[in-house]
Amino acid sequence: MKQITLAAIGAIVILTLAYCAQDTPKTTPEAKAATTSVDPVKRGEYLVTIGGCNDCHSPKVMTQMGPEPDPARLLSGHPANEPLPAITDKKVTAPGQWVLFSSGLTATVGPWGTSFAANLTPDDTGIGNWTEAQFFKAIREGKSKGLDGTRPMLPPMPWFNIAKMTDDDLRAMFVYLKSLKPVKNVVPNPIPPTS
């Protein structure tokens, strides 16, 4: 029995080494050139899509498949005219308890208070007058509006994950966001937690 077990372990090791030794595909110079010559707007759209930015920053419309981003208000943040229902039991959002999302997923309530997804369209109520440097500071340092001396970005914004993107990727995202249809929407300021 001991010999069978040792033989089985040996076979697993040999198969693992053989698998690991397989050639991995190499990036050809042509493939690398094609990757770097991609239209930055298309690249930015791709990154914003796979990054899930629409999940929180786009108001939703209900479809047969459930809520989907509203194409007319794409990435325009929490609608200014959308009131949130009252939370009757404040203990629900205490530390260690629950985090609540609005029905459109554009507002979140938790121990930090209430946060609202920002307007990312190129309207002046969004990122219309932002510079690329502000966008980089917002993402890399978690600074609201990409300005020194401002409050930190609040949950659930995963800026600390996005901060690890390359300059080229962040630049592509910024170029894409600046190419969107501007949507006038003054997103409410965060509401601090109540005791």
Q: For 62-105, write each residue's pLDDT tens digit.
A: 999 999 999 999 999 999 999 999 988 888 888 888 999 999 99
Tell me which DSSP letter residue 39 carries.
-
Give residues with Cβ within 8 angstroms of 55, minimum separation 6. 105
The residue whose two tokens read 């997103």 is 187
**Whole-number Å distance between alpha carbons of 115 and 130:** 21
What's the length of the chain?
195
Q: Using 50 as the pLDDT threshold, list the residues of the chain that sit under it.
A: 6, 8, 11, 13, 15-20, 24-25, 30-31, 33-34
Element containing residue 114 per DSSP (H, E) = strand 113-116
Q: Which two tokens stand for residue 139?
A: 């993402």
62: left (phi over 0), alpha (psi -120 to 50) or beta: beta
What are the Cα distances from residue 131, in Å, to 7, 28, 145, 146, 172? 64, 35, 10, 9, 13
pLDDT in tens, 44-54: 999 999 999 99
Domain ranges of the chain: 40-179
Tell me which DSSP letter residue 125 carries.
T
pLDDT at position 34: 44
- The amino acid at residue 154 is L
The residue whose two tokens read 């979140």 is 108
